[in-house]
Structure 1
Amino acid sequence: MSHAVFLHAAADARFAPFNLREGAPGEALLDVAAVGLCGSDLHYYKDGGIGSAVISSPFVPGHEFSGWLTEDVPELGLARGALVAVDPNQACGRCEHCREGHPNLCPDVVFIGAPPHDGAMTERIWVPKSQVVAVPQRFTPSQAVMLEPLGVAIHAVDLARPRLLERVAVLGCGPIGLLILQVLRTVGAGEVLACDPQPHRRALALELGADRAGASVADIAEWTKGEGAPLVVEATNAPEGFRDAVRAARIGGRMVLVGIPDGDSYVVPASEARRRGLTIRFSRRMGHVYPRAIELVAQGKVDVDAVVSHRFTLAEGPEAFRRHAANEPGMVKSLIFPQGLDRG
């Protein structure tokens, strides 16, 4: 009997037996090597849903994952036992948004690990072969998992389009924010000013390339002598994140909002954004960025391992949710290893 972590409702995560469904044509079966606890998983745990994606019955979360193939997949040139990553976003490929190159915005998407679709916080999972991503076999399961959040960071920086040596403010030094600031360094951004209320995350931001790291946007105002940054990337989970991004931005500046706010609502004074004449973009998931994510890790230009702070067994999954929801000191990014920590 397999087991999985189920989310039943807000603040209700359980480790329980799981009946693996039958595979469908065009699918591959994976032994799940590792799975990340993402900020969106945490929103399901804290709020019971994100917008229209609401927990109506118990489901298995987990959309950031890697696994070992249980059989050969000759059409992909992959053999049994190969470590692979998985793109969790199965867009329809037919709608106007998909045809225009925006599969991340497809309204008919089937997304692994978003209710009602079970995810990878279990021991085995069937996935479409079209979503299997080959990775260098020297990669660890952890590195293969982190390609998905790195892809989110790459997509956000693509939207931001930082100019050469341009000052950038990054709000939120959680996993996505820390990956974004590393990607910014690879594309020639100038001074990177980071902001996070938690000291351990600020310290990590400095280690990973931020020039300065402060506790609030007041620090950014001080460092820029009240002018603000021409480009702001927001990656917090706070309803005030939008407001803080506005206050960190220079008149005529640009903003990209990446974070999902607790409670699914933003707090922002309209006049402050309007009077600055800001250009604002919202980032959702990613496009076709896995090849670049793989290269950034393979070439050592982004350190995904440094972002991972905690590792748990599958049975410890509910505890991982509880500790992140409690915002315990030291927590940054947690990975869960369904086959045991010794195989991670």
Structure 2
Amino acid sequence: MSQALYIHAAHDARVAPFNLREGRPGETLLDVAAVGLCGSDLHYYKDGGIGSAQIRAPFVPGHEFGGWLTEDIAELSLGRGSLVAVDPNKACGHCAWCHEGHANLCPNVEFIGAPPFDGAMTSRIWVPRTQIVPLPQGFTPLDAVMLEPLGVAIHAVDLAKLRLLERVAVLGCGPIGLLILQVLKVAGAGEVLAVDPLEHRRAMAQRLGAERTGSSAADIQAWTEGEGAPLVIEATNSPVGFRDAILSARIGGRVVLVGIPDGDTYTLPAADARRRGLKVKFSRRMGEVYPRAIALVAAGKVDVASLVTHRVGLEGAGEAFRSHAEDRPGVIKTLIYPNGVDRSAN
């Protein structure tokens, strides 16, 4: 019997035996190569849920993952043993939002790794063939995992409608914020101002191209002489992230909110937002962006490997959740290898 990392409730993550369910029509079985510990996984661990997606029974998290095929898939020209990525978002395809091209907003979605749908923090998982993403030769399990968060970053920048050489403020330098920073630079941003309360994350933002790094929104106000930035992208887990984004934006500016706040609640000053006449967009998951994510990684235009600071086996997953929840120094991104040692280089 295989093992899996279960979240039972807030701050209760345990490795226990896992009974693999039977496959369904249209599915294929993967040996999980690696799975990322995402900020949303962390919210399930810290808060016991996100909005209506509450943990009502022990469930297996993990939606950023890649795996090896256990069988040939002729329609994709893929052979057994091929490394693939997986789009975790199974939209219904029939609702108005799906028909309008917003599968990421589908209210009927079955999302791998969001309760009640078990995720990939286990050795094997059944996935729909339609959600398999073929990868170029030379891609590693790390690359496969990081395509999903990179897709989130691409979608956020798409929503932002970046203008060439525009100054941008990025709030939050966790994995998503750092990927957004890099996508902004590729897309033609001008000066990128990045803030995060953790020193090691600020150092990584500077390494990846931020012109200025600071610890709070007050730094953005100081750098811009009180004017603020025309575009602010928020990627924090803070209940005051929305507030800080407003206070970092110039009059008539745009704000894109990507982060999920602890406690699922924002705190913000309404007058500051209203008097600035801000345009605010909320970003959820991603659109059809995997081809661009693959192209960016294949061309070396986005550095995904440097964000991975820790790698553990399944037995170390519980401690990894604790280290992220406590914001321990040096921790940015953890990859979990449920089947032990990686079969290919990282």
| Band the TM-score falls in, shorter-chain normalisation | over 0.9
Which residue number in structure 2 is paired with residue 241 of structure 1? 241
Deviations 1:293-322 (A, max 9, x none): 000000000000011111110111111111
SS in 1 for 2:143: helix
Q: Is the 8 A contact 1:311 1:341 kept in 2?
A: no
Q: Is the 8 A contact 1:312 1:341 kept in 2?
A: no
Alpha-carbon distance in 2 for matches of 1:99, 1:149 = 24
Which residue number in structure 2 is paired with residue 51 of structure 1? 51
Alpha-carbon distance in 2 for matches of 1:192, 1:223 = 11
Q: How does 1:1-344 map to 2 (within 5 A)?
A: 1-343=1-343
Q: Which amino acid aligns with 1:195?
A: V
Q: Is the 8 A contact 2:27 2:127 kept in 1?
A: yes
* 1:75 positional shift: 1.0
* 1:125 positional shift: 0.2
SS in 2 for 1:156: helix
Range with greater deviation from structure 2 (307-316 or 103-112): 307-316
Deviations 1:5-39 (A, max 9, x none): 00000000000110000111110100000000000
Q: Which amino acid aligns with 1:298?
A: A
Alpha-carbon distance in 1 for matches of 2:283, 2:58 = 28
Deviations 1:274-307 (A, max 9, x none): 0100000000000100000000000000000011
Q: Is the 8 A contact 1:82 1:137 kept in 2?
A: no
Q: Which amino acid aligns with 1:228?
A: G
Alpha-carbon distance in 2 for matches of 1:11, 1:339 = 24
Alpha-carbon distance in 2 for matches of 1:221, 1:341 = 47
Alpha-carbon distance in 2 for matches of 1:140, 1:128 = 21
Deviations 1:32-83 (A, max 9, x none): 0000000000000000000000000000000000000001010111000000
* 1:341 positional shift: 3.2
SS in 1 for 2:252: strand
Q: Is the 8 A contact 1:159 1:256 kept in 2?
A: yes
Q: Which amino acid aligns with 1:310?
A: H
Q: Is the 8 A contact 1:83 1:137 kept in 2?
A: no
Deviations 1:108-130 (A, max 9, x none): 00000000000000000000000
Q: Count residues with an aligned counterpart.
A: 344
SS in 1 for 2:68: strand
Alpha-carbon distance in 1 for matches of 2:121, 2:168 = 35
Alpha-carbon distance in 2 for matches of 1:327, 1:197 = 10
Structure 2: any 5+ residue segments left out of the alignment?
none
Alpha-carbon distance in 2 for matches of 1:276, 1:22 = 55
* 1:263 positional shift: 0.0
Deviations 1:316-337 (A, max 9, x none): 1111111111111111011100
Q: Which amino acid aligns with 1:214?
A: G
Deviations 1:115-161 (A, max 9, x none): 00000000000000000000112011001100000000000000001
* 1:99 positional shift: 0.3
Alpha-carbon distance in 1 for matches of 2:142, 2:16 = 24
Alpha-carbon distance in 2 for matches of 1:294, 1:110 = 24
* 1:183 positional shift: 0.2
* 1:206 positional shift: 0.5
Structure 1: any 5+ residue segments left out of the alignment?
none
Q: Which amino acid aligns with 1:329?
A: P
Alpha-carbon distance in 1 for matches of 2:142, 2:261 = 26
Alpha-carbon distance in 2 for matches of 1:76, 1:20 = 25
SS in 2 for 1:309: strand
Identical residues among aligned pairs (%): 73
Alpha-carbon distance in 2 for matches of 1:312, 1:276 = 46
SS in 2 for 1:227: coil
SS in 2 for 1:259: coil
- Over the aligned positions, Cα root-mean-square deviation in angstroms equals 0.7
Deviations 1:78-109 (A, max 9, x none): 00000000000000000000000000000000
Q: Is the 8 A contact 1:310 1:331 kept in 2?
A: yes
* 1:342 positional shift: 4.2
